[in-house]
Amino acid sequence: MQIEISTTAIFDKWFDNLKDTRTRTVIRANIARMQDGNLGEMRSVGQGVFEKKIHYAQDIDCIL
């Protein structure tokens, strides 16, 4: 199952400003897994919006 992931300009700006290349790699890998249907730890925050928690260094919360 292939899931389409879209980003916003706010996410793109935040991601582009990340200095740590390892953190960027971890986020990219998580997005790739989500596209393949492996959603991992997610929870609904209402109205079709979900939060994905990535356990790495300082936990990263991505709102989808």
Rg from Cα positions in the chain: 12
Q: Which pLDDT score is estimated for 55?
A: 80
Q: What is the pLDDT of residues 6-53, one digit of tens each?
A: 888 998 999 999 998 988 999 999 999 999 999 888 888 888 788 888
Residue predicted with more confidence, 61 or 31? 31
Q: How many CB atoms lie within 10 A of CB 64?
A: 16
- When pLDDT is cut at 50, 70 and 90, the band that residue 59 belongs to is low
Answer whether residue 61 shows pLDDT above 70: no
Cβ contact 14:27 at 8 Å: no
